[in-house]
Amino acid sequence: MKHNIDVMEKFYSYLKKRYTQLDMKGNLNIAWKLVIRDSVIFVFVLWALTFILFINGEKEWRGTFGDMFGAVNALFSGLAFAGLIITLIMQHEELKLQRQELKQTNEELEGQKKEFEEQNKTLKVQRFENTLFNMLSQQQEITNNLNISGNEITGRNVFRYFYKEASFQAKDAYVSFTTMGIVGLIRGTNNIHSYSSAHGIELFDHYFRHLYRIFKYINDSKLIDVNDKYEYASIVRAQLSEYELLMLFYNALNVKEDGIYKFKSLIETYALLNNIRKKELARKNDLNLYLETAYRL
């Protein structure tokens, strides 16, 4: 009995190995045909050997053998064994297909996940840009509406007028004097805080408050990556004219929010003074009032 089981196990191993070899080569149909053919041949050979032994054996041995392994029982047992082998191989193949389908499904889900993440990122960027460009449009409107009462100077020209041409009264420890523009006022008093005392300087309050909010929006936004924030800040910086930058330079050193020069911090973070005309500053040493990052990309 043990010998029969060993024979069957060896035959099963042979069929499985043969099937796997053909399957790896892509000959799946041929593999099934060979498995079925070899199984049927094995069963009939086993049955034929049993029958021959039964015919040629001694009478007493045939009686004992007939009781243990009838010819018919041997045939049906062999066919059952062949069917079992085929079933096991079919189950193996089915599990293999299921694993492949599961792998493909996981790959599709992973692809859909990445696509969704990209779409979500795109939507966030669009939301951010819509708000930013609306703010820039409003900033441009604020700039265009700047004007000096009784004077035809409007828009960006107002910055140049205040920085170089406006007449201001100032005094030092000894005498009062008249000076031209913010640049002359700071030079004459040797004090950057004389900027905030210049007559009519409140004209720029709305302009600088809104400009600060634009950069603060970029800095605080969670809709874009950190690496992209500098690029958007550079876009806004590119909109600023020469005298807007010069006025911004001194405004950020004179206006506090909650006791902190918050705009100064943003200027240094995003190099907003990168394009400033350094020779136009009131004093050469004024460059040291900001960190080097305010001037470099």
Beta bridge partners of 180: 167
Share the mean pLDDT of the chain. Answer: 81
The number of domains in the chain is 2
Domain match, 164 and 287 both: yes
Q: Where are the alpha helices (DSSP H) in 171-286?
A: 181-189, 205-220, 226-237, 242-251, 262-269
Q: Do 151 and 270 share a domain, yes or no?
A: yes
pLDDT computed for residue 260 by the predictor: 87
Question: Would 22 be classed as within a structural domain?
Answer: yes
Burial class (CB in 10 A: 0-12, 13-18, 19+), 74: buried
At 76 the pLDDT is 58
Are residues 206 and 100 both part of a single domain? no
**Residue 58: predicted pLDDT:** 56
Based on the fold, state whether residues 86 and 226 are members of the same structural domain. no
User: DSSP label at 161?
Assistant: I
Residue 135 located in a structural domain: no
Which tens digit of pLDDT belongs to each residue from 154-172? 999 999 999 999 999 887 7
Q: Which tens digit of pLDDT belongs to each residue from 47-79?
A: 666 656 556 555 555 555 555 545 556 555 666
Could you list the residue range(s) of the whole structural domain that residue 40 is in?
A: 2-121
Q: pLDDT tier at 91 (50, 70, 90 boundaries)?
A: confident
pLDDT at 20 over 80: no
Whether 101 and 164 map to the same domain: the answer is no
**Residue 131 domain-assigned?**
no
pTM above 0.75, yes or no: no
Instruction: Supply the pLDDT for residue 258.
Output: 77
Let me know if residue 11 belongs to a domain. Answer: yes
State the average pLDDT over residues 107-112.
Answer: 75
User: Residue 120: its pLDDT value, please?
Assistant: 83
| Shared domain check, 101 and 15 | yes
Asked whether residue 179 is assigned to any structural domain, the reply reads: yes
- 231 in a structural domain: yes
- In this structure, the answer to whether residues 165 and 272 fall within a common structural domain is yes
- Token pair listed for 276: 């400033």
pLDDT-based confidence at residue 102 (cuts at 50, 70, 90):
confident
Q: Does pLDDT of 14 surpass 80?
A: no
Q: Are residues 150 and 113 in the same domain?
A: no
One-letter amino acid of 47 = W
Rounded to an integer, the average pLDDT of 286-297 is 92
129 found inside a domain? no
Segment 268-282 shows an average pLDDT of 95
141 pLDDT more than 80: yes
Is the Cα dihedral 87, 92, 97, 99 positive or negative? positive
Residue 237 domain-assigned?
Answer: yes
Average pLDDT over residues 279-285: 95
Q: Give residue 113's pLDDT.
A: 73
Could you tell me if 179 and 41 lie in one domain? no
CB atoms under 10 Å from CB of 228, counted, come to 14
Instruction: Express each pLDDT in 180-216 by its tens digit.
Output: 999 999 999 999 999 998 999 999 999 999 999 999 9
pLDDT score of 2: 44
* Cα-based distances in Å from 24 to 18, 89, 97, 295: 10, 14, 14, 65
267 and 153 share one domain: yes
| Bridge partners (DSSP) listed for residue 167 | 180
At residue 167, the pLDDT reads: 93
Give the per-residue pLDDT at 24: 52
**Are 281 and 169 members of one domain?**
yes
DSSP 238-264: TT--HHHHHHHHHHTTT--BTTB-HHH
Of the two residues 3 and 240, the one the predictor is more confident about is 240
